[in-house]
Amino acid sequence: MKVPERFSNLPDYAFPRLRTLLDSHAPGGPVIHMSIGEPKHPFPAWVASILSDHVDEFAKYPPNDGSPELLAAIAGWLGRRYGAEVDAATQIMALNGTREGLFNAVLALCPETARHGQTPVVLMPNPFYQVYAVAALAVGAQPVYVPATRGSGFLPDYASLPGPLLDRVEIAFLCSPANPQGVVASLGYWDDLLDLAERHDFRIFADECYSELYRDAPPPGVLEAADARGTDPERVFAFHSLSKRSNLPGLRSGFVTGGAAGMAEIKRLRSYAGAPLPLPLQRVAEAAWADETHVEENRALYQRKYDIADEIFDGVPGYRSPEAGFFLWLPVNDGEEAAFRLWTETGVRVLPGAYLSRDTDQGNPGSGYVRVAMVAPEDEMRRGLTKIRACLYG
C-alpha cells in the first residue's frame, strides 16, 4: 500500500535514533539520563489538591479553546510578564502541549501558495524543534533551515537570505530562549525580525517555552517588541508552556496567543481536529499561570545549576555558558561519537546535536555538539557533568 511521500525524507525522530545508537550496548556505569528535556524538579504542592477538588469535571467535555478562567489567568500573566494587553476571549487558546499548537497553527495559517503562485516557505533555525519542519511539510510548504551557529550568535540570520526567497516566506519560527543553545533574542533582534516580517509580509511564530528559566534578566518576548513598535497583532503568534516553567510536562498545558483573526482560524481548526485539555487539568493550569512563587523557586534551582556547569567546564575550549533554558550545547569533534563514548564508558546519556539539525549545503550545524539536559536533581546532575568533563575533555 502507498504511503504519503511528503514525509519520506524525514530522518527518524531524535530519541528513536538515540535508542538505535545506544541501546544495544551496555552502559559503562550507573545510568544518568541527560538526553531528554523532562524537568525533574518538584512541581507545586497544590497541584494534587486542585485535581482532587475538580475530579468530577472529568465527566464533562472540556471547552475547546480553554475555560474562561484559564484564559483570563493567561491574559493576566501576559500583562504582568510582557506588558501585553491581550483579549482573553479572542486572542488566546489553551493547548494540549505546545507541540500540538505549533503544528496546528501552521496548518491553520500557512496558505497553499505564496505570492505569484509559488510554493510557500517556512523559515526555521538549524538546529530546531523538529515539529517546525513536519508542520511545513504537512501543508506542502518548503522548509528552509537557516544556520544558528557560533558565527551568527546561535540565532538565525534571516535577513541574510535572498530577497526573492524572503518574498515567498509565510511563517518564520524563532525559539527564544533557544533550544538547544540557550541564547536569548534581544529586543533589538526581535525588532529587526519584525521589520523584516513587515517588509516581506510574513508571520512570526515565537516559541517561548523556556522564557521563565534564565540566569539574570527576564528574556524579552515577541509581544513586548511588537507592542513597542505598534506591529499588527496578526503578524505575531507566541507559544508558551507550563512544562518547564512549572515542572509539569505531563500536564500537557500551554497556550498560543496572537491576532484575533488568525486565532479565529486556529480555533476553527481545533473545533474539527483538536484535543482540548481536560477541565481538571485546566484548573491546575489556571492556578499555575496565576502564581509566581513556585516559578521563582524553580528558577533559583536552575541558576545554581548554571553555576555548577560553569565550574565543571571552566577552561574547556568553546564552552559557552547558557543564558537561559536548561540545556548545555557542548562542543565536540563528532556528536554521535561523543554520545556513544559517554554511554559505553560512563553510562551518561546525551543527545548528538546532529539529531536536532538538518544537513544543508553548509553541512550539519549540530554535528560538532552534544545537547545535555540539566534536569536531574542537583547531585545527580553534578555527577553527570563531572563524568562528561573527564570523558570528553580530559
Q: How far apart are CA 208 and CA 186, in angstroms?
A: 13
Could you tell me the sign of the dihedral formed by the alpha carbons of 74, 75, 79, 82, in that order?
Answer: positive
What Rg do the C-alpha atoms of the chain give, in angstroms? 21
- Which H or E run includes 351? strand 351-352
Flag the least confident range among 155-169, 264-278, 376-390. 264-278
- Provide the percentage of residues in the chain whose pLDDT is more than 90: 93
Instruction: Please tell me the class of the 14-42+294-393 domain.
Output: alpha beta
Strand partners, 99: none
The pLDDT of residue 300 is above 80 = yes
Q: Are 75 and 89 in contact (CB under 8 A)?
A: no
The CATH number that domain 47-291 falls under is 3.40.640.10
Domain residue spans of the chain: 14-42+294-393, 47-291
Residues near 210 by Cβ (< 8 Å), separated by ≥ 6? Answer: 175, 177, 179, 244, 324, 325, 326
pLDDT at 30: 97
Mean pLDDT of 91-100: 95
Question: What are the φ and ψ backbone dihedral angles of 143, each rounded to 5 degrees?
Answer: -75, 135
The HSE-up count of residue 188 (CA atoms within 13 Å, CB side) is: 0
Query: Of 328, 333, 282, 334, which Cα lies nearest the Cα of 309?
Result: 328
* Residue for grid cell 547531585: 379
pLDDT digits (tens, 9 = 90+) for 181-204: 999 999 999 999 999 999 999 999
156 CB-contact burial (10 Å; exposed 0-12 / middle 13-18 / buried 19+) = buried
Question: 134-153 burial string, b = 16+ CB within 10 Å, else e?
Answer: bbbbbbebbbbbbbbbeeee
Beta carbons within 10 angstroms of residue 11's beta carbon: 12
β-bridge pairing 32-33 and 348-349: parallel
The HSE-up count of residue 17 (CA atoms within 13 Å, CB side) is: 18
The pLDDT of residue 3 is above 80 = no
C-alpha dist (Å) from residue 333 to 227, 339, 353, 374, 392: 43, 11, 11, 21, 10
Per DSSP, the residues of 176-212 read: SS-TTT-----HHHHHHHHHHHHHHT-EEEEE-TTTT
Q: Are 133 and 110 in contact (CB under 8 A)?
A: no
Q: How far apart are CA 14 and CA 370, in angstroms?
A: 12
Per DSSP, the residues of 88-124 read: HHHHEEEESSHHHHHHHHHHHH--SS-GGGPPPEEEE
pLDDT at 110: 97
pTM of the full predicted structure?
A: 0.96
pLDDT digits (tens, 9 = 90+) for 253-270: 999 999 999 999 999 999
pLDDT at 1: 76
Q: Are 243 and 209 in contact (CB under 8 A)?
A: yes
pLDDT at 370: 98
Beta carbons within 10 angstroms of residue 250's beta carbon: 11
The pLDDT of residue 2 is above 90 = no
Coil, helix or strand at residue 274: coil
Beta carbons within 10 angstroms of residue 130's beta carbon: 18
